[in-house]
């Protein structure tokens, strides 16, 4: 798993993506990973948005994931959160 996902209850759904310099020292790469996380999370949740603040932290190696792998990992993590809420 290349992501650590935390959630806390809230009135609306909000997502934060955290990509540290441990993932890549280059800001261009970190921002690309961040954009890919936001896109995959939006696709995973669709219309079913939990009422929570969700923080997704990328771990080292996340920059090397293909789009399908990234989507699959976030799907699993966000489904666990949806079951809790």
pTM for the full predicted model = 0.89
Range with lowest mean pLDDT among 25-29, 61-65, 77-81: 77-81
**What CATH number did the domain enclosing 30 receive?**
3.30.230.10
Neighbour count for residue 52 (Cβ, 10 Å) = 20
59 token code pair: 């771990």
Domain that holds residue 13: 3-84
Q: How many structural domains are present in the chain? A: 1
Could you tell me if 21 and 30 are in contact, meaning their C-beta atoms sit under 8 angstroms apart?
Answer: yes
For the CA atoms of 55, 61, 66, 68, the dihedral, rounded to the nearest 10 degrees, stands at -40
Q: What is the CA radius of gyration of the chain?
A: 12
What is the per-residue pLDDT across 12-51, written as a single tens digit (0 to 9) for each?
989 999 999 999 999 999 999 999 999 999 898 877 788 8
Could you tell me if 17 and 42 are in contact, meaning their C-beta atoms sit under 8 angstroms apart?
Answer: no
């Amino acid at each position: 798993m290349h992501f650590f996902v935390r959630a806390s209850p809230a009135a609306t759904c909000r997502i934060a993506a955290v990509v540290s310099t441990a993932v890549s020292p280059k800001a261009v790469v970190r921002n690309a990973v961040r954009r890919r996380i936001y896109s995959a999370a939006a696709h995973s949740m669709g219309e079913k948005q939990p009422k929570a603040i969700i923080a997704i932290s990328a771990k080292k190696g996340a920059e090397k994931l293909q789009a399908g792998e990234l989507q699959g990992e976030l799907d699993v993590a966000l489904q666990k959160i949806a079951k809790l809420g």
